[in-house]
Amino acid sequence: MPPPLALYIHVPYCVHKCPYCDFHSTVQQTVPEVAYIAAVKRELLFWRQRLKDDKRHLHSIFFGGGTPSLLKGESVGQLLKQITTLWQLSPQCEVTLESNPESCSPAKIAQWLNHGVNRLSLGIQAFNQERLTYLERPHSLEDARKAIQNSRRGGFTNINLDLIFATPSQTINGWMEELDEAMDWQPEHLSCYSLSIEKNTPFAKLYKQGKIQLLDEDRELEFFTSTEKSLAAGGWQGYEISNFAQPGRSCQHNLNYWQSGDYIGVGPSAHGRLTKIDNNSNIKILRTINRTSDYIESQREDGSCLLNEHLCTSQESGIDCLLMGLRLTDGMNRESYKKLRGYDLVAQQPEKIAELQKSGLLKVSRKKIAITKKGKLLTDSIIEKLID
């Protein structure tokens, strides 16, 4: 049985490029909306034709970016109409749209809901005007508050707030105040990421010049544990390193990534993952990646925008499964790994696993392998250790 199938649509436009961000987007005050929507529709058709024998219903849809909320409400409606014409949606299909506060008007909120968006992810990033300015966010604190209020009043019952912490000179007390405000808004989900320096961004340049000092590891750990503690006390469960949800409100789309599910990636720079099972029940994973630039101009006649397709080796698929699964609090499913690699990780690496268990960094059950609370901040090095 192949895993669930999800759909990701990348909307590559922003009104301003935030200096820490390495997601693909171009700064455009006027989005070439008609041409972009037509191109996405063609690409959706391409994927449906290519997967014509695939009977799976869509388990989740995610409009990510860039800034999907720059699109007009009816454009999102057109895309969802095309999607539902081509695919059946599972009854609980989660449809998320990422939105920036400054482009989240009550009229758009009403349209998104009308057209079938049922989860809104708001890029708030900070509840402090100074930090918003430092991050060069295109919205003010007031915009952020208004956007949350309007989304709730407008009828969204599943809201995520994205936040960034551990920015230079931020204090724990200041962050706790911001987190308190986030919780006061009672969102169903909170994504809290520490500031990281991504290659080829303006922040990376400043960092290299010594003009940005990141918090040291101990300090970051303090931020991290305070965040977890505070959110747990408020009823938000940490189900992934940076993601917290009220019971039953985990993001289904992202869970599908972390649980090695399948997804179609549409739009510039979008990635995809598709499971192929042959007649002998052998599993292979196909990775797809779209072109980053000239999405509209370079689209092929059949609607494809593929830059590359790669049939993963069993080792590559196993690494992906580890990288994704061990981010989850519940851990990686041992059976999923076994299906990809042909053997159980615990049986294959008993000494390494025992050592990590002894150090209190890893816990192993019959079905799962999970990183402990103590091991969380060492996730990358633990995964590296387990890669064979």
Which amino acid is it at 267?
G
CB nearer ligand SF4, residue 14 or residue 326: 14
Q: How far is the CB of 24 from ligand SF4 (least distance, A)?
A: 8
Q: How far is the CB of 372 from ligand SF4 (least distance, A)?
A: 32
Gyration radius of the chain over CA positions: 21
d(CA 117, CA 137): 25
Question: Please, which of residues 118-177 interact with ligand SF4 by CB under 6 A?
Answer: 123
Of 6, 9, 11, 14, the one binding ligand SF4 by CB under 6 A: 14
Residue with tokens 């029940």: 281
**How crowded is residue 329: how many other Cβ atoms within 10 Å of its Cβ?**
16
- Does the protein bind ligand SF4 through residue 243 (CB under 6 A)? no
Torsion of CA 103, 106, 112, 118, to 10 degrees: 100
**Selection from 144, 97, 95 nearest residue 120 by Cα:** 97
Of 2, 4, 23, 378, the one binding ligand SF4 by CB under 6 A: 23
Would you call the peptide bond into 66 cis, given omega within 30 degrees of 0 as the criterion?
Answer: yes
Q: How far is the CB of 359 from ligand SF4 (least distance, A)?
A: 36
C-beta separation of 73 from 115 below 8 A: yes
> Binding mask 47-76 vs ligand SF4 (x if CB under 6 A, - otherwise)?
------------------xxx---------
- Does the protein bind ligand SF4 through residue 25 (CB under 6 A)? yes
- For 327, half-sphere exposure in the C-beta direction (CA atoms, 13 angstrom radius) is 17
CB nearer ligand SF4, residue 192 or residue 332: 192
Q: How far is the CB of 25 from ligand SF4 (least distance, A)?
A: 5
Count of chain residues binding ligand SF4 (CB under 6 A):
11
- Does the protein bind ligand SF4 through residue 204 (CB under 6 A)? no
C-beta separation of 123 from 64 below 8 A: no
Of 100, 121, 194, 256, the one binding ligand SF4 by CB under 6 A: 100
Of 4, 21, 33, 306, the one binding ligand SF4 by CB under 6 A: 21
C-beta separation of 144 from 101 below 8 A: yes
- Element spanning 388, H or E: none
CB nearer ligand SF4, residue 191 or residue 336: 191
C-beta separation of 253 from 6 below 8 A: yes
- Does the protein bind ligand SF4 through residue 12 (CB under 6 A)? no
d(CA 206, CA 320): 32
CB nearer ligand SF4, residue 195 or residue 362: 195
Q: Which residues bind ligand SF4 (CB under 6 A)?
A: 14, 17-18, 21, 23, 25, 65-67, 100, 123
